[in-house]
A and B are shown apart, each in its own frame.
Chain A
Amino acid sequence: MERIILDVDGAGDDILAILFALGAPNVQLEGVTAVTGAAGSVEQVTRVVLNTLTLAGRDDVPVAAGAWRPIVGNDPKDMLAPVHFEKRLRARFGDRLSGFNPPAPEPVRQAMERHAVDFIIDTVRSAPGQISVVATGPQTNVAMALRQAPDIAALVKQFVVLGGCFRTPGNITPVSEYNIWADPEAARVVLRSGAPVILVPLDICEDNRVAPSMLTRDDLADLAAGPPGPVVDHVVQTFPIYIDIWREFFELVGFPLDDAIAVTTVIRPDLFTITRPYFVDVALSERLVRGQTVVHRGRQILEFDGPVTTRVCEGLDGRGFMAMFKDALRAVDARIPT
């Protein structure tokens, strides 16, 4: 069993990652922590997480709310850019867009009182060498946990960081990916912590070279053709708009499942092509490149010191992943008591 804490920022693919983690083989989901990110405030993210777990009949999974802002963040105008993007989407999709990241209804239960940072620290300390922290939003919670309790760097099994890009162009600047850009200082803390890190960049999630890993309407048809259940029904109803947006605006063949892919690195590393450890760093200071991930490979004249601890995912067996993904959703439904 792989014991996982999932740290999410509550956008559409985070929901799928939670459902996937609940149904995937060999996963013990220790808890889900929420962080401010792509889907808005940490309160909204927390509600999304709670509602998702309720949908899956798993109100037993601990949920903790975390950071309400990044350590430094970015110019407010830039941080609002995703909102303006949604206006363009509305112009194209009209009312269909109301199903895209909708305001979460009031959940049936509350998150725990403990802060996400304390939940991460306590859980990692309670099971040395066993806990993988899979963070699929900005790295704020993980960085705060490392700053509050530096000892967890030596106790965690690994940090999985969803973020960054190398061959694939960035999605917030030409060279930066949103999660890293949203809190680059936090990402740096994690990458320099000395703990083992697996970096899951855009290259193996949001790039047509890994097209078989993306959710398409064919996949929804597959799910719909199988046994019905609350989770499968929800995904089949909710995600067509996501698929259409990503096809039309990002020119991808389907909706990329970045966050579920990040979870998969822990339980099925054999599905990935992954590098040896490198020192990976983050550019901080110019708007054009803020949040760029830089792998120290090759030979350079200047020296840069940092821990050689981050392995970068470079390839993914998309078909193998997608088969497992759909099986996992069905498995969650099969376990919900009727």
Chain B
Amino acid sequence: MKPVPVLLDCDPGHDDAIALIMAYRSPAIDLLGVTIVCGNATLDRTTVNALRILEFIGAKDVRVAAGCVSPLARELVLGTADGPSGLEGSSYLPEPTTTLDPRHAVEFIADHLRAAAEPVTIVATGPLTNIAFLLLKYPALKPKIARIVLMGGAVYRRTEYITPTEFNIFCDPEAARIVVDSGLDVTMVGLDVTMQVLVEEPQFAELRKIDTPLGKVLLDWLKFYEKLHRRQMGVGGALHDPLALAVVIDPTLITTRDAHVAVDLTGQFTFGATVADFWNERQLGTNVHVASTVDTDRFFDMLYVLLRD
């Protein structure tokens, strides 16, 4: 099967890092490039993290471009799961020898879309600032975007915060609204499904079998990454971003329901909430495929295969 051309926009971030590795290794994906946004850490840190990960896995041919240093209309509030560097627990990752693409992420994506022979899938695993900026700046490029698969939002389930929000949307809700209202094919892989792909003891046991430098780094990452989950929610680390990426490799991993998703911008405690209307009460049609169930076992099988060898 022909690989799907993908641009990955991310803010590594442990789970972004794993998604990045999967994207590079999967034969089903033609990774055109990686763009970086702030979120899990400041932009300089998420950018260095991406370069270090790519260096480590020998993916020096993948071009990386840095994007927005702050959300569209708000001050940056950093994520808390990944530690100060955004990738704690992995002190022996190499320093990058590759250089950053000189273009801003938005220009980098725009140039790739212009040059693309077929429409490109955008996978966004951080706040949607870069993607919204692209849509603000170059609306004419929309036909070159096949679909957007984003990790973000929450609809059905209790969330990791005391507000009904998920971090990526909370961090830049204005950007999220631009993306879901873009008219593009948007799949929202939110906490409803990503909180069902948890790294618990059986998954750790499988990962320990991967006796490679990559396997060791992964274990270190996941041990750090699970701290916040364990402390606050009593569960293992959720592989949010890898699931969003996996959906591009195998769309049957999830089922979706179509709805109009509105992003709340002004609620005192609810800004950033993704409020889905499955019954068309708003009479606004549907704008998002909302992931509602996930085949957890098949997701992990895919992950193990991509991490082995």
Seen from chain A, the residues whose Cβ lies within 8 Å of a Cβ on chain B are 67-69, 71-72, 115, 117, 140, 143-144, 147-148, 150, 185-186, 188-189, 284-285
A115 to B107, alpha carbons, bound, how many Å?
Answer: 11
A117 to B68, alpha carbons, bound, how many Å?
Answer: 14
Most chain A beta carbons < 10 A, residue from B72, B73, B265: B73
Seen from chain B, the residues whose Cβ lies within 8 Å of a Cβ on chain A are 68-70, 72-73, 104, 106, 133, 136-139, 174, 177-178, 265-266
A284 to B266, alpha carbons, bound, how many Å?
Answer: 8
A255 to B178, alpha carbons, bound, how many Å?
Answer: 36
Task: Say whether B136 contacts A71, CB under 8 Å.
Answer: yes
Could you list some 9 contacts between A and B, CB below 8 A? A68-B136, A115-B137, A115-B138, A117-B137, A144-B136, A147-B68, A147-B70, A148-B106, A185-B72
Within the complex, the shortest CB–CB distance from A262 to chain B, in Å, comes to: 23
Within the complex, the shortest CB–CB distance from B250 to chain A, in Å, comes to: 35
Query: Which residues of chain B come closer than 8 Å to A284, judged between CB atoms?
Result: 266
Within the complex, the shortest CB–CB distance from B94 to chain A, in Å, comes to: 30
A71 to B70, alpha carbons, bound, how many Å?
Answer: 14
Report which of A67, A143, A150, A186 forms a contact with B69, defined as CB distance below 8 A. A150
Task: Say whether A72 contacts B174, CB under 8 Å.
Answer: yes
Task: Say whether A72 contacts B73, CB under 8 Å.
Answer: yes
A72 to B69, alpha carbons, bound, how many Å?
Answer: 19
Within the complex, the shortest CB–CB distance from B152 to chain A, in Å, comes to: 18
A68 to B133, alpha carbons, bound, how many Å?
Answer: 12
Task: Say whether B137 contacts A185, CB under 8 Å.
Answer: no
Report which of B68, B106, B138, B177 forms a contact with A72, defined as CB distance below 8 A. B177
A124 to B306, alpha carbons, bound, how many Å?
Answer: 47
A71-B174, A72-B177 in contact; A144/B137 too (CB < 8 A)?
A: yes
Within the complex, the shortest CB–CB distance from B287 to chain A, in Å, comes to: 15
Specify the chain B residue showing the minimal Cβ separation from A115. B137
Query: Which residues of chain B come closer than 8 Å to A148, judged between CB atoms?
Result: 68, 104, 106, 133
Nearest 6 interchain pairs by C-beta: A185-B73, A285-B266, A72-B174, A68-B139, A71-B73, A71-B72
Query: Which residues of chain A come closer than 8 Å to B137, judged between CB atoms?
Result: 67, 115, 117, 144
Query: Which residues of chain B come closer than 8 Å to A72, judged between CB atoms?
Result: 73, 174, 177, 265
Query: Which residues of chain A come closer than 8 Å to B104, judged between CB atoms?
Result: 148
Query: Which residues of chain B come closer than 8 Å to A147, judged between CB atoms?
Result: 68, 70, 72, 133
Specify the chain B residue showing the minimal Cβ separation from A140. B136
Specify the chain B residue showing the minimal Cβ separation from A149. B104
A134 to B178, alpha carbons, bound, how many Å?
Answer: 27
A115 to B141, alpha carbons, bound, how many Å?
Answer: 13
Specify the chain A residue showing the minimal Cβ separation from B70. A147
A71 to B133, alpha carbons, bound, how many Å?
Answer: 9
A185 to B71, alpha carbons, bound, how many Å?
Answer: 11
Query: Which residues of chain A come closer than 8 Å to B136, judged between CB atoms?
Result: 67-69, 71, 140, 144
A188 to B178, alpha carbons, bound, how many Å?
Answer: 18
A115 to B106, alpha carbons, bound, how many Å?
Answer: 12
Specify the chain A residue showing the minimal Cβ separation from B177. A72
Within the complex, the shortest CB–CB distance from B142 to chain A, in Å, comes to: 11
A140 to B72, alpha carbons, bound, how many Å?
Answer: 11
A186 to B72, alpha carbons, bound, how many Å?
Answer: 9
Within the complex, the shortest CB–CB distance from A74 to chain B, in Å, comes to: 12
A49 to B177, alpha carbons, bound, how many Å?
Answer: 31
A189 to B172, alpha carbons, bound, how many Å?
Answer: 14
Specify the chain B residue showing the minimal Cβ separation from A69. B136
Task: Say whether A188 contacts B73, CB under 8 Å.
Answer: yes
Query: Which residues of chain B come closer than 8 Å to A150, judged between CB atoms?
Result: 69-70
